[in-house]
Amino acid sequence: MKYFSMLIKPASSLCNLKCKYCFYHDVASNRETYCYDVLSDETIENIVNKTVGYFKEPAQISFAFQGGEPTCAGIEVFKKFINQVNEVKKDFHDIHYSIQTNGTLINDEWIELFKEHHFLVGVSLDGYQSNHDLVREDRNNQGTYDRIMNTIEQLKKNGIDFNILTVLTSSLSNHAKELYKFYQEHDLSYIQLIPCLSDFNHESEYGLKPKEFFNFYNEFFDLWFEEYRKGIYRSVTFFDNIIPMFAGIPPQQCGAMGFCSMQFVAESNGDVYPCDFYVLDQYKIGNINQNTIVELAKSKITQEFIQEKRVLSNQCNSCPYNKMCRGNCKRMSGVYFDLEYCGIKEFLEAKEKQIVAIAQTL
């Protein structure tokens, strides 16, 4: 079976919040057009016809909706998209939907849509209330914690698969125990901890540093491992990726492969880019309204992007954990590594014994 995925930004960079560390605000601010109109009927048709319609044999096709805040596009855009997929898809097409949302606009109609079409819902929640409300405010400078927790309860009540995305900022990295306890108390078992990036052009007070990365995960892993020994498995993205590699299983995240892979990120106007971190004018590979998927995949910019050779430091090349990391994602390298220190290396040195023991059970 063939596999294809596309990340779509139906509302472009439009958002009803003003999070203090927003990475896509920084990306959009570094291109000529900050925000495009919401996804049009024409672009919906072209995305679906040129992806689902392209595969004439069994294929698993995944559409992920992100932003900005994707629900700002309105639910009718999603209904039109799904209806178009249903018109084009064949019995041998396995279609999957997911969405990353701040959770503030989710009402009963959205819940019904997610439930009917088996969406995997990622909810942005930065842990306990005092931290979350500090960095994730709405346009009226009000915290959003209570609204999001209500959305999570609705997802649980309706049996909708969801996970939590927490942005690991410099300040939050000092509170591993408090964060882990929060996940336990609220029965949150699927966690994506995403390191906060500094902006393209300057350091951010929220950006995570390599030593902070180590300090956080050094403590967080011990709490996680204590539960693991009791037969409780809490899915944490970093652990889910690093542990199988010690069993010889290839990495799931593209950053750990040592090279960039093609992500097919579509802005709301149909412009396509190779990676969500690089939705910038100079990385535009074409437009789904004018180009086929094959043309986009074979474009000069695409090929240069995925074939770019990573130049690693002597420290990286001689590292005993090089095959577990390979320098990691070029955009996120500042989170893990500086010229003299690597947070991933120190973490693996500290926890290798436990990680190997778990890997041997896989």
Task: Burial-class residue 314 by CB neighbours within 10 Å (0-12, 13-18, 19+).
Answer: exposed
Which positions ≥6 away from 170 have C-beta within 8 Å?
196, 205, 206, 207, 208, 209, 212
**Token pair recorded at residue 358:** 């778990």
Annotation says 276 is catalytic: yes
Distance CA 209, CA 202 (A): 14
Phi, psi dihedrals of residue 233, rounded to the nearest 5°:
-110, 115
Out of 126, 276, 281, 338, the active site residue is: 276
CA 360 to chain centre: 28
Which positions ≥6 away from 360 have C-beta within 8 Å?
247
- For the chain, helix, strand, coil in percent to 5 are 45, 15, 40
CB 216 within 8 A of CB 329: no
**Token pair recorded at residue 159:** 């049996």
CB 334 within 8 A of CB 198: yes
Query: Helix, strand or coil for residue 92?
Result: coil
Give the type of residue at 346: E
Distance CA 62, CA 5 (A): 5
Q: Could you list the active site residues?
A: 276
